[in-house]
């Protein structure tokens, strides 16, 4: 029976799981972005028999010390009113294993649950000061709620793709759909309209490559640690 449900918002995040073992203890659910989509995917994972839920993919940095490609293992995720803790034992296991891989920067972190994309450097700075959170994503809290409801294990594994001191392109949502796919014609049109934004898109593309490398490195460990930890 499958036990680990790995929930990714984007198809590109799911593609990084190709480096993981192929067995019936490990299932991936691509949800789309946002808390509603993540909650739906979590329910599907639980219905499929998963008793460990993993929020896996990209994150935005709130801590200015974080760089693109840094790998974060969440200790908790908060929406300001409620904080959900992850499975600390699994986090410890994963960090001890990933640190043996040369070239990967990994640490435990506190996550903020954003209701929408945090676009500007000033917004990131305000959140960092407000809650001392290290990073942000839009799905982990909903996944954690589902795990908590059923008393299941829950972990967050995210790699930084958006650093704290750089603002995102204004029209990013017009270029990338909710599954992370690039809208080709729309992308070209937006770049023609606002060429000054091109360096931001180029920077994001480079950051994504680094984040993907880190996610691919940790992917084989997800099933391994859960199985050995049983």
What would the mean pLDDT of 149-160 be, rounded to a whole number? 96
Question: What is the per-residue pLDDT for 45?
Answer: 96
Task: List the single range of 53-57, 85-89, 164-168 with lowest mean pLDDT.
Answer: 164-168
CB 153 within 8 A of CB 51: yes
> Which residue, among 34, 9, 16, 60, has the nearest Cα to 142 in the 3D structure?
34
**H and E: helices and strands count for the chain:** 8, 8
Whether 193 is in a domain gets the answer: no
> Which residue, among 225, 229, 182, 221, has the nearest Cα to 17 in the 3D structure?
221
Beta bridge partners of residue 176, listed in sequence order: 182
Q: What phi and psi values does residue 80 have, to the nearest 5 degrees?
A: 85, -40
Whether 185 is in a domain gets the answer: no
Strands 52-61 and 135-137: antiparallel
Whether 191 is in a domain gets the answer: no
Question: What is the per-residue pLDDT for 48?
Answer: 92
Whole-angstrom Cα distance, residue 208 to residue 12? 9
Whether 216 is in a domain gets the answer: yes
Domain that holds residue 18: 4-165+210-228
Whether 174 is in a domain gets the answer: no
Whether 217 is in a domain gets the answer: yes
Question: What is the per-residue pLDDT for 3?
Answer: 84
Strand, helix or coil for residue 174: helix
Domain with residue 158: its CATH number is: 3.40.50.1580
Residue 194 — pLDDT band, cuts 50, 70, 90? low
Whether 149 is in a domain gets the answer: yes
**Quick one: 69 exposed, middle or buried, by C-beta within 10 A (0-12, 13-18, 19+)?**
buried
Residue 2 — pLDDT band, cuts 50, 70, 90? low
Question: What is the per-residue pLDDT for 224?
Answer: 73
What would the mean pLDDT of 25-49 be, rounded to a whole number? 94
CA 20 to chain centre: 17
Residue-wise pLDDT for 88-130, tens only, equals 999 999 999 998 888 899 999 999 999 998 989 999 999 999 9
Beta bridge partners of residue 85, listed in sequence order: 76
Whether 17 is in a domain gets the answer: yes
Number of domains observed in the structure of the chain: 1
Query: What DSSP string describes 78-93?
Result: E-SS-EEE--HHHHHH
What Å distances lie between residue 50 and 11, 26, 27, 71, CA to CA? Answer: 20, 8, 8, 24
* 172-176-177 Cα angle (round to 5): 125
Q: Which two tokens stand for residue 151?
A: 């008393």
Q: Which two tokens stand for residue 195?
A: 């060429």
């Amino acid at each position: 029976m499958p036990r680990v449900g790995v929930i990714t918002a984007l198809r590109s995040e799911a593609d990084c799981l190709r480096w993981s073992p192929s067995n019936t203890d490990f299932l991936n659910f691509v949800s789309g972005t946002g808390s509603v989509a993540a909650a739906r995917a979590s329910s599907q994972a639980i219905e499929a028999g998963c008793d460990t839920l993993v929020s896996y993919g990209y994150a935005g940095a709130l801590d200015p010390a974080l760089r693109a490609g840094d790998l974060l293992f969440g200790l908790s995720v908060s929406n300001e009113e409620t904080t959900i803790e992850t499975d600390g034992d699994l986090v410890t296991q994963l960090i001890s294993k990933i640190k043996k891989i040369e070239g990967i920067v990994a640490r435990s972190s506190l996550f903020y649950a954003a209701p929408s994309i945090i676009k500007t450097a000033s917004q990131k700075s305000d959140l960092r000061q407000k809650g001392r959170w290290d990073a942000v994503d839009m799905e982990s809290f909903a996944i954690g709620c589902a795990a908590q409801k059923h008393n299941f294990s829950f972990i967050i594994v995210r790699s930084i793709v958006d650093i704290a001191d750089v603002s995102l392109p204004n029209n990013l949502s017009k270029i990338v759909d909710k599954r992370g796919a690039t809208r080709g014609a729309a992308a070209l049109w937006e770049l023609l309209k606002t060429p000054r934004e091109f360096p931001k898109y180029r920077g994001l593309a480079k950051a994504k490559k680094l984040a993907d490398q880190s996610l691919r490195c940790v992917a084989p460990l997800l099933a391994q640690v859960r199985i050995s930890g049983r």
